[in-house]
Amino acid sequence: MAATIRDVARVAGVGLGTVSRVINNSPLVSHATRQRVLDVIAELRYNPSQIARSFALGKTLTVATIAPFFTRPSVVERLRGIEAALASGGYALVVFNVETPARRDNCLRDVPRSQRADGLLIISLAPQPEEVLALQETGLPVVLIDAYADSLPGVTIDDVAGGTLATEYLIALGHRRIGFIGDLIADAMSFNFTSSRHRLEGYQQALVSAGIPPRDDYQRHGLHGRYEARVLARDLLELSEPPTALFAASDTQAMGVLEAARDLDLAVPDQLSVIGFDDIDVAEYLGLTTIRQLLFESGERGVELLLKRMANPSAKLEREYLPIELIARGTTRRIAR
């Protein structure tokens, strides 16, 4: 039979209350006693019931996460970081998948009011000002990951700087005909995604700074996906004067660009340079030049901020910008000016 809390107390020579305090990280236990109880828990392989713990603590011991399109590689990697950090903290994870604007609105409205979680993480979906106020009125601690909103703590990157970094690298390689492939602007606005349009802003700023007028005909926007990016890239590459380099707002879209180049028998990087964004696992396998952001770590850090907020809701608001890095691989090359 599985060990019980009474078995732990008996073997450790302490009372049931002491074992409970050790499990719930109470400071009212000496170091020696705590270690003895933990050793017995490990020896007996005792696994305290989460339901029992939640009743004792008056908490759900659950964190909710609202995530858009949670099968996308970048979102999966963030969720992996979240789950790892929550597991080590003794919390369970519940994920609410968002694939439509209506689902987004419903989740932001209903999940914080459900009383089924002790805290909420929101990935990539920046709440509107009125939604921020509604979230604050619930009293539930909230942390944003890959999104920004006034009055809410969060972990993100500078996407404008990322778009600038990618484009400046292509310019330094001698390219002047540089195209951009990103998310459909109307779709991004309905979800209030910001990353693609901020990376576009960085791309345009880099061109202007280099004295290269941004060309509308070198910019394509569509639904986020490899196939959609493949179609957009083919359209760009079949222009009478096609770009010599393409910046895709994500590695997934960059994969579509590589497929379009293959469709048209264009050698990468000899005839076309390609750069992506995110540095998901497959990017290294493909030899894709990209902008690396710390996806797994952003999930971990989001949990750390949330747990601090849950412990002290009145704590100072924290907002962090994680670093980005250019990873040069085999899909870009220098050309003659």
For residue 41, the 8-state DSSP code is: H
What order do you get walking across the sheet with 319-321 strand by strand? 92-98, 62-68, 119-123, 142-145, 154-156, 319-321
Spell out the CATH class of 159-294.
alpha beta
What is the three-class DSSP state of 179? strand
Pairing mode, strands 178-183 and 245-248: parallel
Can you tell me the distance from the alpha carbon of 216 to that of 265, in angstroms, rounded to the nearest whole number? 25
Can you tell me the distance from the alpha carbon of 211 to that of 226, in angstroms, rounded to the nearest whole number? 31
Structure tokens at 109: 């409205």
DSSP bridge pairs for 122: 66, 144
Q: Are 201 and 160 in contact (CB under 8 A)?
A: yes
Spell out the CATH class of 5-48.
mainly alpha
Domain segments of the chain: what residues? Answer: 5-48, 59-156+295-321, 159-294
pLDDT tens track, the chain, 337 positions? 567 777 888 899 988 778 877 776 667 788 888 888 888 888 888 776 654 555 455 566 789 999 998 888 999 999 999 999 988 777 888 899 998 889 998 999 988 887 778 899 999 998 999 999 999 898 899 999 999 998 899 999 999 999 999 999 999 999 999 999 999 876 667 787 889 999 999 999 999 999 999 999 999 999 999 999 999 999 999 999 999 999 999 999 999 999 999 999 999 999 999 999 999 999 999 999 999 999 999 999 999 999 999 888 888 889 999 999 999 999 999 997 6
Region of 25 on the Ramachandran plot (φ > 0 left; ψ -120 to 50 alpha; else beta):
left
Global confidence as pTM: 0.81
Can you tell me the distance from the alpha carbon of 320 to that of 142, in angstroms, rounded to the nearest whole number? 14
Amino acid at 148: Y
DSSP bridge pairs for 66: 96, 122
Can you tell me the distance from the alpha carbon of 159 to that of 166, in angstroms, rounded to the nearest whole number? 11
What are the tens digits of pLDDT across the range 231-262?
Answer: 999 999 999 999 999 999 999 999 999 999 99
Can you tell me the distance from the alpha carbon of 85 to that of 299, in angstroms, rounded to the nearest whole number? 8
Amino acid at 311: A
Query: What CATH number is given for 59-156+295-321 in this structure?
Result: 3.40.50.2300
Residue of 104, 107, 103, 114 whose CA lies nearest to 140 = 114
Total residue count of the chain as it appears in this document: 337
Q: Indicate if 159-294 has the same CATH topology as 59-156+295-321.
A: yes
* DSSP result, 181-194: EEE-HHHHHHHT--
